[in-house]
């Protein structure tokens, strides 16, 4: 009797072991949900939709985008953390979630515990802009005005812990400025208010803001990367403009709930990397100010961990809060 039970258990384990590759071969056989924990219209939303369309073609199943903004990405991320680990609910991750790890330690999930990395998509620079009617025309003039009127200037962001918030806190701390943070529920509202002059300054992604700059609706004071953006070649980096060492880029990628079978993760990674390695995709995204990123799941995991550590050190060293 005991031998029969042991044989049955061994057979069950073998079935599970050999079922994983088969599950990957059958995957996907229904709609995949892609949860975007941001509002519509920002770079995460735009490039995720572009990728989803290509994935739909290669996987042969619909990819449904669902925006779940709120609480600095916590609402959407929590939904995915609680989803079945079967590859049919995926999370769009950005640098924002890596700062939220430190800013909100009591949230209902931990990034590297409750999710597994799938693949990165892209990175891009940010650009610091002011309203067209602003009296300042350069970073040095902005810093001088902020120091002349401490506590009166403000900067908008898409919410606490967002890339735009952290970029503002970084310039605030490096330049020793007393400026106020105005958090919005997504970048769309902040973008509308910088154009109308309701806020004094904001960081936005280069791909999203470039046309607004070219149209003369806002003034660009500097970009956040180590080198100038190819689509804003006449705009200096913030380091060139007077803040040596300034470096803050945005990036986005894909994660899945912890426990998702590795063959499914590997299949998604292979398809995403194949799409991003296509010359037409890479060139199209480059013209929009985005650089495609191609990594294995393990390499992407190490990248995420390094970002958590990097922003965690900055947040703690400068006593940055969510306000």
CA 52 to chain centroid: 16
| Dihedral sign of CA atoms 223, 229, 235, 239 in order | positive
Give the residues across from 251 on adjacent strands: 123
268 and 299 share one domain:
yes
Burial 132-171 (b: 16+ CB within 10 A, else e): eebebeebeebbebbeeeeeebebbbbbbbbbbbbbbbbb
pLDDT at 144: 97
Crossing angle for the helix pair 279-287 and 43-59, to the nearest 10 degrees: 170
Single out the residue of 219, 220, 161, 162 nearest to residue 187, CA to CA: 162
pLDDT at 19: 45
Single out the residue of 143, 48, 121 nearest to residue 272, CA to CA: 121
Last residue of a domain, one of 241, 269, 295: 241
In CATH, what number is assigned to the domain containing residue 185? 3.40.190.10
Tell me 71's DSSP state. G
202 and 293 share one domain:
no
260 and 119 share one domain:
yes
CA distance 107 to 117: 19
pLDDT at 3: 45
Contact by Cβ (8 Å): 190, 157: yes
Contact by Cβ (8 Å): 127, 194: no
* Residue 8: inside a domain: no
Count H helices, E strands: the chain?
A: 13, 10
What is the full per-residue pLDDT of the chain (323 aa) written as tens digits?
444 544 444 444 344 444 445 556 789 999 999 999 987 766 777 788 889 999 999 999 999 999 998 888 899 999 999 999 999 999 999 988 999 999 999 999 999 999 999 999 999 999 999 999 999 999 999 999 999 999 999 999 988 778 888 899 889 888 999 999 999 887 889 999 999 999 999 999 998 899 999 999 999 999 998 899 989 999 999 999 999 989 888 899 999 999 999 999 999 999 999 999 999 999 998 888 889 999 999 999 999 999 999 889 878 877 776 54
Count: domains in the chain = 2
* Residue numbers of the domain that contains 89: 15-123+252-317
191 and 140 share one domain:
yes
**Beta-sheet strands, E only, within 9-48:** 32-36
116 and 130 share one domain:
no
Radius of gyration of the chain measured on its C-alpha atoms: 22
pLDDT at 313: 86
């Amino acid at each position: 009797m005991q031998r029969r039970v042991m044989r049955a258990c061994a057979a069950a384990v073998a079935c599970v072991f050999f079922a994983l590759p088969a599950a990957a071969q059958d995957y996907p056989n229904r709609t995949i949900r892609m949860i975007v924990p941001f509002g519509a219209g920002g770079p995460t939303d735009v490039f995720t939709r572009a990728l989803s369309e290509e994935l739909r073609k290669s996987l042969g199943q619909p990819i449904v985008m669902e925006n779940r903004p709120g609480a600095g990405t916590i609402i959407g991320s929590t939904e995915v953390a609680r989803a079945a680990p079967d590859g049919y609910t995926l999370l769009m991750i950005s640098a924002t979630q890596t700062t939220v790890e430190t800013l909100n330690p009591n949230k209902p999930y931990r990034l590297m515990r409750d999710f597994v990395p799938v693949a990165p998509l892209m990175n891009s620079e940010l650009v610091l802009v002011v309203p067209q009617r602003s009296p300042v025309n350069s970073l040095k003039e902005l810093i001088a005005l902020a120091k002349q009127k401490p506590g009166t200037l403000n900067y908008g962001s898409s919410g606490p812990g967002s890339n735009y918030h952290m970029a503002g806190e970084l310039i605030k701390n490096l330049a020793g400025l007393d400026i106020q943070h105005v958090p919005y529920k997504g970048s769309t509202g902040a973008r509308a208010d910088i154009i109308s002059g309701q806020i004094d300054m904001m960081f936005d992604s280069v791909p999203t803001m470039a046309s607004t700059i070219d149209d003369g609706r806002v003034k660009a004071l500097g970009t956040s990367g180590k080198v100038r953006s190819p689509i804003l070649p006449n705009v200096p980096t913030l380091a060139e403009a007077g803040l040596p060492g300034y470096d803050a880029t945005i990036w986005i990628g894909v994660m899945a709930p912890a426990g998702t079978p590795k063959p499914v993760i590997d299949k998604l990674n292979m398809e995403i990397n194949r799409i991003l390695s296509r010359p037409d995709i890479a060139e199209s995204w480059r013209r929009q100010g985005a650089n495609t990123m191609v990594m294995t799941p393990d390499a992407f995991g190490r990248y995420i961990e390094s970002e958590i550590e990097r922003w965690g050190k900055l947040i703690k060293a400068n006593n940055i809060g969510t306000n």
